[in-house]
Structures are given as C-alpha cells and as structure tokens.
Amino acid sequence: MQTDTMEVAQLESRMNAEDYRKLQNLFLVSASRSLSRIQFIDLAWSSVGHGSEEEYGFLFDSKECIDWGGLCSFLLMELSNKLKNSKTVSAPCWKPPRTLTCPHRDPVQKVLYLQSSGQYLTVSKGGNVGLRDAEDMSLLHTHRLQNSTVAPKDLWVTDVVLMQNVDKIAVAFTSKEVCFYDFVCEKTFSCKCKLQGLNFTPWCLDYWVDPCNPDQAVLTIGDIGGRVSALYFTSAQIFLFERFSLRTDSDSADIILWDDLAKGKHRSCYTVTHQAHAPGWVRKVRYLGSLEAFVSCSIAPQSSIVIGWREKESTSLRITSYSTKDGVWDVDFHIGLGLLATAGVDHHVLLWNPYVTSEPVCALGGHTSPVIAVCFLQTKQQLLSYSKDKVLCLWDVSSQLCTHRLAGVFPNIQGDTHPFLFLNEERQHLVLSFNSLLLLLESKREEKKTSSHEHPVTCVLYNSRFRQVVSSDSASSVIFWLTDTGQKVKQFHRCHGDAEISTMALDVTQTRLFTAGADGEVKVWDFNGRCLHRMNAGLGRAVRLSQVLLLKRSILVMGWERKLTVFRLHSFWQSTVEPCEWKGGLQHRGAVLCAAFQPPQTLVTGSYHGEIIVWNSSTEKALRKLRPHDEGEDCKKQQGATFNDSSCKHIQTVVSVIIIRRAADLVSCGGSGTVRLWSTQHARLVGQFTAHEGDLGSIVIAVSPCGEYLTTADREGTVKIWDVKYYCLTPGEGVNKELPKLLSSFHPHLDHVTHLEMCLHGDKLLLLSASSDCSLALSYLPGETVGFFGQVNKCTQVQRLGLRNTTCKCVIKKNTDNNTINNNPANSSVKIQNTLINSVEKSWGCKDILQHNTLEYSAHQCCA
C-alpha cells in the first residue's frame, strides 16, 4: 500500500525527541515479533500518547516501502535537521561606518586590543604607535618606537603581536630582528630586549598562551625566505630569555642572538624551525595551541598551505602541505569547530580539516576578485572574508552560505593596498585598515524580529494575476505568499543549488518567473516549481547578476560586464539558452548594473562608473549619455553633449533607474544616498536631492505606478516616502536641489533593505520591502506597516489602529461616509485620512499564519 507522505509529515511535525525514542522502542518490538495493524496502532498510541489512529495506520503501511530501522533513522535525522534549521542565522546590522584618520601618514600594520586598559593600540609601518579609547575611538596618546639598529627614516615594521601574559608587544622589523617592548608604561614603550641574527626578514608573527599555564607560550615567526620558526617559552612570566650575557645596545635593551637560541643556550626557551614554503615568503602564520601545531600560508602555488605538527616532547615536526592553484593570502583557525579558513587568490574561501589536507572540506564561492583576509567569529559559527574589490562577506559555516554582503562603504584608496581585519567580538567592533586610514564598523545589538525567510531576503515581486507576493533569499529559496493574509502558499528550495538568488522578474503574463543566481545562470520557472529553461548568462562562470529585464522580443541580463547580455526569444525552443550578440557593443566604462524600459523603444541603462545611456531598443544603438554636473568645476552643459563626450567625469555609481511618464521622466539613485531626476529628451539633469544621510553605501528606490510617490530605503532599514507629484514637473534651466515633500520616515527593518516594490492590490497602494534581516514587510502609504509575511499574530495581541492611506490617482479611496472617490488635483498637498480596517488588516492581525499547510517543492530536483 502506498503511504500518504503528507499525513506522515503532519505526524512527524508534532513529535519531539522523547516521542522518537518511544517510537524507536516500538520498532524494535515490531521487529522481534509479528504485529497486526491494529496491535501496532494501539501500541504506538499508548507509547507516544498522542496522534490519531489514521496517522499511525499510515506509518504501519509504510512498512512495505522501507524497513522500520530506516524509517526510525529518517525521522531522527529530520528532527535533527529541524532543530538545526530552526536557529536563524543572524546577520549584523552595522552602524554608519566611521573613518579614523591616524596622526601619521604611513600605513597601519596592526590593530591590537589591550584588555587590561580597554584601549586599542595601532602600529604603523614607520613605528608610530597610537592609543585609542575603545568607547569613542578618540586618540589618547601617540609615540614612536625607538630602535637604534637602523636610522629612523629606514625603520620598517612588518608585524606586531600582543603578549598579554607578560604585558609586552613583539615587533618585527625589516632589519631582521624582533624587538620586545613593554607597554605597562604607555608613554614610553621601552624596548626590553632584541632578538637579532635572523637569517631572513620576519614578515608575520603570532603569539599563543596556554590558558591553563601562562608561563607556557609560543611565539611563531614567518619570514620572507619561506621559513616558519617557533619559540617555545617555558617560564614566560618570570623571564623570556636568560640574562647570562650583559650585552646591550644604545637602547639599553638586552641582545639575544638567534644562534644562541638554536643551540639551546637559553634554558627558558627553545626553537623549532622548518622550511615551510619554497619559494615564496610566508604571508600569515598561526599557532594552533590546542593541536600543538602551526599553520602558514603563502601566495606561492607550490606549497600554499603548510601545517607543522610538533611531535610529543620533541623539537621535530611532522609536515603536511597542500598546494592550491593560485596561492593563499590569509589563514585563520576556529578553536571550537577545529576548522581552518584560507583566503585564496582564486576568489574562493576554503575550509579545511587540519588532520585531512588532501582536499578542503568545502569551498565558499561568492567573491569576484582575490580574497585577501579571513577572520572567524569564535563565539559563532560564522566567518568574515574581505576581497580585493572591497566586498565584505559574512558566511554561515554550518550552511556554507553567505548571509551578509557589504560593499560600497569602503574608501577608494589609490594604489596597492592590502587591508587587514581586526575583530573585537566583545565590543562588536570590526576595524579595517586602508593604508593610513582606519574604518570602524560597529554592529548594533541584536533585536528579535519576525523572520519571513531563514536567510536574508534578496528580492520581492508582486504578482497581480494571482494576487500573491514572491520573494527570494540568499539560500536560493523562493516563497509565494498570499497578500491578503501574509500566509505562505508554497516554496521552491535550492533553485540555484547553493548559489544566492540575486534578483527576479516576471513575464508580461505573470505566469513565468525568472530567477538570477550567483552561479551565473537565469532560470525560467512555472508556478508549479518546474524549471523550463536555463539561460547561460555567465557562460559557465559564477558571476553576480544584478537585474533581468524583459523586453518585447528579448531578455536583457546585466551586472558583471560593460556590455548587455541579450537572449532572443526565438532561442527559447531548447532547455538551455545561450546569449546572443548585443548590437550596441561596448559603450559603458564600467559594469552595467541596472536598466529600465519605456514602450515603444526607449531603453535606459546605468553603470558602475555613474554613466546613464539612453538606447533605441529596436536598433540597439546608443542615443545619448546622461551625467550629472561635476560640482566645483565648470563642465559644459550636457544639453548639447554628444554620446562620446567625456568632459564631465562620473561621481556616483548608478544602481537603479526607473522611467516615469512626465517631463522629468527618469529617476536614478547611487551609492551616496542621492536621488536624481533626468529629462531623457533633453539629455540633462533637472533635479537632485539627498534622500539619506550617512555614508552607508547605495540606497534602493521604487516609484508608484502613477509616478506620484517615491520610496527610498537605506542600509540601516530606514524607509522614506516622498511626494514627487509636482517635483520638477516643469524643469527649468538649472538643477533643482530642493527636497521634495517628505510624507513619512519609518524603520520597519533592522538591517539593509535590499529591494522595494510598490503595487496596487485591489484599491490599496501597497509597499513591499525586503531586508537582510530575513524579514519581508507590507506597508500602506505613507508608511503604516501592516505586518510581516510569516508572522504569528493573535487577535488579542493586535492593537486596532486606524491605518492611513494616501490620495493618489492610482488608488481608489474608500470614504467612510459615502464611498466616493476623494481626489482634488488642485490641492498640491497630499491628503491623508483615516480609513476603516478592511479584510486585509483583519486577516493580517487575526490569523495564525503558520498554522496553514504549505506546499514545498524541491526545485533542484525539477531542474535535474
């Protein structure tokens, strides 16, 4: 008999771990003696204590499909997965970044946190030390390290480590020495001893202290000759080195020779050295105290990662190594998980089991340039990575997914910079260095919020045909919701495997869904979860797609190249569709990020370098270029600018463009919180205003269907509603820089708002907002949040507030007295009135949304 899997799933969803244990005992009984169907149902109900006879009957019938042991293992595994997935991965909500200018102009080499004094210590390449208050990051004191070995102009610090058990810092210099400075007296930083005679310049340091015995410590040195050396201190709190020699220098510092240490003349410490990398110098070294081993990395592909295991009570090492294709920039170790993370030149972050280096545990792909820094969050199963194109990613190690992505907030420093990450988990501070600048990212305290998805939401759409909302997340899931109740209807899992869904689109019939993944593919779905077509936009490369735009006879995909990727509709006769050639060729100087279309043939595209180009979509020819005036310079008027004109340089990245039906017919936004209005007919800027203050990167925008209301949102979760009905209605000669009327400013999200959608649902103008805090909100204009999709609200918990709506030509108002349309175009101010709570509000407030059954599809199986 075929088992009804839905009934079994309903029974399984109400069982806890104790129920599984009781049921497992019943399985053992049924295996030892024959039980009839009635006997099994009676024993199961008496053992577990709840459930219906029908449900246990279905379990008994499943015996013909699988054996009892297999079913028990399956149910126990499902319970484990359910508990694991119930813990929503929390993404940090960053405060506005702060740029900390150092008093010196040379690059900052290291940032340390002094636990005893609660201060940050920075050391620059030229030996300048700065002490900062950990509360407000104000500069308290500066000092220059003294080293008489070299002239002050030749002083070059390569790395610094904190020796917290002896109140010292160890500083490596290009003069082939390591100096030990005492920071008990913060104003002097006196040099106590110098380790000299090293064969190569020390490039990186690491220091580990035994938490159970502070006298036991290890200082690890990696040099430019590819060697890794470890100094094992046995009585660190008494003295680091024995003072059997009175040799000192002009700094009154004791001189310790490396040869004396190697020959064992100091009983308080001994050394272990290994030629780890040849050729190529050591970029980073870490001592794994719990494993009694060190790990080092190099950009030399021949031996990118080397792990040296110290034999018990011996100075010899057992070496294991692994070679990557392009080398490794950085390495870090998670003590609790026992995992290594490496930052690869090949754009990947690899996770390793230190005991098995034949191949990595997994590869985290999402960066589009070399990864130069990695850092584990030791109190969480999370990992930070930073790439050369100034993108910071937060990874959930258990799910191997990128849960947060931050870009556009880091300073644009010219020249070759190699930033490092310093994370203070206790204070929730993340410090990044950019030459002499320090950037502080401070995360806000976590607040509990309704989660619509288990992972950050990336896109949201409204389907007027089915009156549903469609949303996607970074875990490659798509969820369909009922707009009237917020109830989940169905869910497609793993649409692009492990790749994030970056954007979506609906066709004109609203019966086909287009999803774009970070794997470089665009997939076409029907609403039953069946994959109809695969569009090979990235040509086999894992590229990030920013937008999919559907035209009458073609589909445009963009986000990673300077030219548009086009798919002709006549090519969709096969399952895998290859791109065609865009006739317009290369016109943008940067990657095309966004586009908008206005029938019959007006196409507008915006790029990373701030250019906006107007095209004829039929001929695919570029017509004109739009650029804002460069402030402070007398640029010639763009009114007469030709397409090839380059006299005005770009000033902002364009991340979104929207076409509206009016004189100022184009709205764009970029990375500075500025909104601009353009006249495409006259090829000039007619208005601009700053919608959001603070250097938090790009904002997102949406315009109402009638073009009267503009919505903007930023990375802090703030949403603003603007009245642009009469803004730049009749453009003058200059640029209007006045603010339009602000109708509302509210804060429905705790983190970055990733996408906005304004739509007409019946007679209501609604705002849908998606966020990295895993929530999807529904709001009325001008800013009353109705609720969150997936929330659980009881009638007794809801305050019956009179919701407000706006009078707009695209919204039919319900007058509480006579249900007449209230629209007075003569009145320039937007009229706002209280309305009755309709069925939408009642459904959102009273229904326990999670009690409804939902249909879930395994999308990756449909595409197989």
Mean pLDDT of 48-54: 61
Contact present, 488 and 790 (Cβ < 8 Å): yes
Of 691, 713, 747, the domain-final residue:
747
Mean pLDDT of 492-497: 94
Inside any domain, residue 796: no
Residue 680, CA distances (Å) to 600, 643, 728 in order? 15, 13, 13
The confidence score (pLDDT) of residue 843 equals 52
Inside any domain, residue 726: yes
DSSP SS3 for 767: strand
Mean pLDDT of 457-467: 94
DSSP string, 466-531: TTEEEEEETTS-EEEEETTT--EEEEEE-TTTTSPEEEEEE-TTS--EEEEETTS-EEEE-TTS-E
- Dump pLDDT digits (tens) for 402-436: 888 888 888 877 666 777 889 998 888 999 988 88
The confidence score (pLDDT) of residue 857 equals 38
Question: Is the predicted pLDDT of residue 180 greater than 90, yes or no?
Answer: yes
Size of the chain in residues: 864
Residue 845, CA distances (Å) to 73, 182, 190, 485, 529 in order? 40, 63, 67, 8, 30
Inside any domain, residue 695: yes
Instruction: Locate 812 and state its tokens.
Output: 């039919």
The confidence score (pLDDT) of residue 719 equals 93
Q: Looking at 481-485, 733-737, 758-762, 814-818, which range is the least confident one?
A: 814-818
Kindly state the percentage of the chain with pLDDT values over 70: 74
Of the pLDDT bands very low, low, confident and very high (cuts 50, 70, 90), residue 273 is confident
CA–CA separation, 11 and 17 (whole Å) = 13
Residues in Cβ contact with 553 at an 8 Å cutoff, skipping those fewer than 6 apart: 568, 569
Determine whether 729 is exposed, middle or buried from the number of CB atoms within 10 Å of its CB (0-12, 13-18, 19+): exposed
Q: What separation, in Å, do the N-terminal and C-terminal C-alpha atoms of the chain show?
A: 28
What does residue 295 show for φ and ψ, rounded to 5 degrees? -130, 140
DSSP SS3 for 538: coil
Closest of 434, 472, 468 to residue 101, by C-alpha: 434
Q: What kind and span of H or E run contains 54?
A: helix 53-61
Q: Looking at 124-138, 242-256, 365-379, 518-532, which range is the least confident one?
A: 242-256
Which domain range does residue 741 map to?
588-628+651-747
Q: Looking at 55-69, 204-218, 310-324, 757-771, which range is the least confident one?
A: 55-69
CA–CA separation, 88 and 499 (whole Å) = 18
What DSSP character marks residue 47?
Answer: H
The confidence score (pLDDT) of residue 25 equals 58
Residue 265, CA distances (Å) to 85, 243, 257 in order? 57, 11, 10
Mean pLDDT, the chain, rounded, equals 78
Residues in Cβ contact with 115 at an 8 Å cutoff, skipping those fewer than 6 apart: 164
CA–CA separation, 823 and 833 (whole Å) = 12
Of 86, 120, 153, the domain-final residue:
86
pTM value surpassing 0.75 = no
Inside any domain, residue 6: yes
Inside any domain, residue 792: no
Which of 5-9, 383-387, 443-447 tops mean pLDDT? Answer: 383-387
Q: What kind and span of H or E run contains 348?
A: strand 348-352
Tell me which of 67 and 602 has the higher pLDDT.
602
Residues in Cβ contact with 448 at an 8 Å cutoff, skipping those fewer than 6 apart: none
CATH number at residue 691: 2.130.10.10
The confidence score (pLDDT) of residue 55 equals 62
Q: How many domains does the chain have?
A: 2
Inside any domain, residue 130: no
* CB atoms near residue 567 (< 10 Å): 22
Instruction: Locate 36 and state its tokens.
Output: 């009839």
Question: Is the predicted pLDDT of residue 75 greater than 60, yes or no?
Answer: no
Q: Looking at 50-64, 387-401, 597-611, 740-754, which range is the least confident one?
A: 50-64
What does residue 41 show for φ and ψ, rounded to 5 degrees? -65, -45
The confidence score (pLDDT) of residue 307 equals 79
Of 747, 770, 805, the domain-final residue:
747
- Dump pLDDT digits (tens) for 541-597: 889 899 999 999 999 999 989 889 999 999 999 999 999 999 988 898 889 999 999
Inside any domain, residue 36: yes
What does residue 761 show for φ and ψ, rounded to 5 degrees? -120, 100
Question: Is the predicted pLDDT of residue 805 greater than 80, yes or no?
Answer: no
The confidence score (pLDDT) of residue 742 equals 92
Q: At what angle do helices 53-61 and 5-13 cross, to 10 degrees?
A: 120
Q: Looking at 138-152, 316-330, 490-504, 810-824, which range is the least confident one?
A: 810-824
Residues in Cβ contact with 551 at an 8 Å cutoff, skipping those fewer than 6 apart: 597, 603, 617
What does residue 262 show for φ and ψ, rounded to 5 degrees? -65, -30
- Dump pLDDT digits (tens) for 81-98: 544 444 455 667 778 888
Tell me which of 531 and 148 has the higher pLDDT.
531
Inside any domain, residue 667: yes
